[in-house]
Structure 1
Amino acid sequence: MNGVSIKYFVITIASIFVALGVGILIGFSLNSEKFVQKQFQQQLSLIDKNLVELKKENDRLVKKIDEYKSQINQLGKINDTLVNAYLKTCKSNAVVSLIVTSTDYSYNDLIDFLRKNQIKLARIVKIKRAFVDVLNNKTSDFPEYKLPEDAINTLMLYAVFDMKDDLITKLTEKRYIEINRLSGEIADTILIAGGNTLQNDTFNAVDRRFIEKLKNINDLNIVGVEQSYSELNYCEKYKSMGLDTVDNVDDLTGKVSLIELIRGGNGNYGTKKEANLLMPNTFTSIEVSENSLKKRRESLLEQYQNIQATNVMP
C-alpha cells in the first residue's frame, strides 16, 4: 500500500511540475507575442515618420531642381543672346573649305551652323573609308597616277584653289570621296574635321598627309576640329602639327571658338587635354581680322597665279 501511495505521490508531483512548465511556457509565449507586436508597431511608427521626412526632403529637392532648371533655361537664353550679338558684330568675310576626314561622325550640323551665320563655304570634301586604300596604293583603279602623292595634291588644289582635274572626277565617280562645290572662290581657311572611333584611326593615313601638304601653302589658315564625343582625340594630334583647334565644335562654346579662329584668332580650345582654354577670353577686333584676311587673300592669289603660270604645286 505504501509503495502504491509513493508512486501515486511521485506521479502527482511530476504532473504538477509539468503543468507549471506548460503554464510558464504558454505565459512566456503570450508575453513574447505581445513584445514582438509592440516592437513591430514601434518600427512601423518609425518607418512612417521617416517616410514623412523623406517626402518632405524629396519635395524640397524637386523644388530645387525646378529652380535650377529655370536658371539653366535663363542662362541658355542669355548665352544665345550673347552669341547672336557676337556673331552679328564679329562677322567674317573669310571663305572656308571644309575637308571632312572623319568617316565615323557627321558634320552636317557644323555645315548648317556655318551657313546660318553667313560664313562663305566654298567647297566641301568628304573622305570615304575606302580612300585609305587609295592613299596606301592598295587599289588598281588609278594605274596612271602616282599614289598617294597625286591624290593628296589634287584634293589640296581643289579645296583651296578650286582647281579640278580628271583625278578628282574619278575619285568622285568611284565613291572614294564626295564633293560639294558651292563657289569658285579661293578658300583662305581650311577646316579639317576629324575624329574617329577607336577601331578606325586613320590620322596618319589621311589627316597627317593633308596637313603636311596644306602647310606648304603660305598664309593659309588651317583649323582642326572635332566633336566632344569623338573617341579618338584628333585635336591633340592637330595641335602637335601646329594647328589651331576646337575639340568641341558641336557645343555652343566650340562654335564661338571656331568663328574666332576663322576670323584670324589663334589658340586651342575645348574640353579635352590639349585645349588651353574652353573658349577665347579676348576677341579679335574687326580691323585686325579684316587686315589679316586681306593679307591671306593677297598671298593666296599670288600663289594661285604662280601655280597656273608654272604648273608647279606648292
Structure 2
Amino acid sequence: MIPNMKFYVISIVAIFAALGIGIYIGFTLDTQSFVAEQKEDIATKLEERFDFLTNENQQLKLSLKEIEVENDNYKYFIDSTYEEIVKGRLNGSKIAIIETNDDYMYSGIGQILETAGANVINVTTINDRIMNEEMLKDIYNELKIPISGNKLIASSIEELTKSLVTGEETEFVKKLIEKNFVDVVGVIDQPIDYVIVAGGSIREDKERLTLIDQIIVNTVKNMDRSVVGIEKLKSNYSYMETYKSFRISTIDNVDTSIGKVSLILTMEGRPGHYGLKQTAEELVPSLSLPILEYSKER
C-alpha cells in the first residue's frame, strides 16, 4: 500500500523540526560556553588590573610619605632659621598695625617685627560699630564737632588714621576707643614710620573696603608714610586684589614663616605682591639685588 502525501509531509516536517531543534540546542550550548569563557577572561583581566592599581597605590603612598617627610624637614628648617634672616632689618622703625575688621587677629606678627628691630607702637582693631552713622553722630554731637556732608564714616576713619600716624590722641579718638568703635592695644603718643593694614574678612563687604581700608591707605600716603597690606593665607574673602588696586605692596600669607619674612623684606624696601594666592606675583622678595636696585627694577 503506497503511503499517501499527508504521511510524506508530516515526515518531512518532523525531520526539519528535529534538525532545527538540534541546531538551536547546539548553538545554545556553544553560546553558553563562549559566555563562560568571556566571563573568566574578563574576571582575570579585572584581577590583573586590580593588582596593578593596588601596587601603584602603594607606590604613590610611599612617594607621598617621602614628600611629606621632606616638606616637614623644609618647614623645620624655615621655622628654625627665618628669624635670623630678618634680624635687625627694621632697626628703630615705629610701626602701627591697623586691623580693618575684627574677623581675624594679627597681633602675632608683632614678634617678628620686634625681631627685625622694629617697635610696634600700637595695634588697632576697627569694630563693626564704626559702620553705624547714627552712633557716630552721637560722638560728633557730644564733642560739638560740626557734621558736614554724608561722609561721616570716611571722615572718622581719616581722623583716626591721622591720630595713629602723628601719635596725637584727639578727643574724638578717645571717644571712639571709649565707646568700643575701635580697640587699641598700646599707646598713641609718638609718630609712626610705617602702617600695616591687616585685611581679609569672613564675608564680602565692598562698602567697608571703600570706607575704611581705602581711606586708611590714602590718608597714610598723603602723610608721606609707608603702608603695606597683609592678610592670612586662609582668609575667607581676600582683600589682596583690592589692595593691589590701591597701589600698595601686599603679602597674602603673613601667618606663615615665609609670609613673615616677606613682610619684613618688603618693609625694608622691596615693594611687590608676595605670597601664594592668584594675586601674588612672587613667593618672596628677592635678596639677589640690593634694595635700591631691586626697587628700580620693580
TM-score range, shorter chain: 0.7 to 0.9
Structure 2, unpaired ranges of 5+: 293-298
2:46 is the counterpart of 1:50 = no
2:135 is the counterpart of 1:141 = no
The equivalences for 1:284-299 within 5 A come to none
Give the SS at the match of 1:192. Answer: strand
The equivalences for 1:50-69 within 5 A come to 50-69=49-68
In structure 1, give the amino acid aligned to 2:18.
A
Would the alpha carbon gap of residues 16 and 92 (structure 1) be closer, same or farther in structure 2, given more than 3 Å must change? same
Distance (whole Å) between structure 2 residues aligned to residue 283 and residue 182 of structure 1: 38
Give the SS at the match of 1:281. Answer: coil
Contact map agreement 2:200 2:236 (CA 8 A) in 1: yes
Aligned residue number for residue 76 of structure 2: 77
Would the alpha carbon gap of residues 180 and 149 (structure 1) be closer, same or farther in structure 2, given more than 3 Å must change? same
In structure 2, give the amino acid aligned to 1:111.
S
Aligned residue number for residue 179 of structure 1: 184
* Aligned CA-pair RMSD: 3.3
Aligned residue number for residue 200 of structure 1: 205
The equivalences for 1:9-48 within 5 A come to 9-48=8-47
The equivalences for 1:301-312 within 5 A come to none
Aligned residue number for residue 308 of structure 1: none
Q: How many residues align?
A: 279
Which region of structure 1 is more displaced relative to structure 2, 203-212 or 237-246?
Answer: 237-246
Contact map agreement 2:94 2:119 (CA 8 A) in 1: yes
Contact map agreement 1:115 1:121 (CA 8 A) in 2: no
Aligned residue number for residue 251 of structure 1: 256
Contact map agreement 2:168 2:190 (CA 8 A) in 1: no
**What per-residue deviation string (whole Å, max 9, x for no partner) do you get for residues 126-166 of structure 1?**
112332344xx885323322445762354124423443233
2:110 is the counterpart of 1:114 = yes
In structure 1, give the amino acid aligned to 2:215.
R
Contact map agreement 1:267 1:276 (CA 8 A) in 2: no
Aligned residue number for residue 98 of structure 1: 97
Give the SS at the match of 2:229. Answer: strand
Distance (whole Å) between structure 1 residues aligned to residue 254 and residue 8 of structure 2: 103
Contact map agreement 1:157 1:164 (CA 8 A) in 2: no
Would the alpha carbon gap of residues 141 and 194 (structure 1) be closer, same or farther in structure 2, given more than 3 Å must change? same
Identity fraction in percent: 25
**What per-residue deviation string (whole Å, max 9, x for no partner) do you get for residues 180-207 of structure 1?**
2257444322111124467301232112
Aligned residue number for residue 298 of structure 1: none
Task: Give, in angstroms, the shift of residue 53 of structure 1.
Answer: 1.6
Give the SS at the match of 2:286. Answer: coil
Contact map agreement 2:130 2:136 (CA 8 A) in 1: no
Give the SS at the match of 1:122. Answer: strand
Contact map agreement 1:154 1:164 (CA 8 A) in 2: no
Give the SS at the match of 1:211. Answer: helix
Distance (whole Å) between structure 1 residues aligned to residue 156 and residue 136 of structure 2: 12
Contact map agreement 2:86 2:265 (CA 8 A) in 1: no
Distance (whole Å) between structure 2 residues aligned to residue 210 and residue 27 of structure 1: 91
TM-score, structure 2 as length reference: 0.78
Which region of structure 1 is more displaced relative to structure 2, 6-15 or 274-283?
Answer: 274-283
Which region of structure 1 is more displaced relative to structure 2, 185-194 or 115-124?
Answer: 115-124
Would the alpha carbon gap of residues 196 and 283 (structure 1) be closer, same or farther in structure 2, given more than 3 Å must change? farther
Distance (whole Å) between structure 2 residues aligned to residue 149 and residue 11 of structure 1: 109
* Aligned structure 1 segments of 4 or more residues deviating by more than 6 angstroms: none
Which region of structure 1 is more displaced relative to structure 2, 224-233 or 68-77?
Answer: 224-233
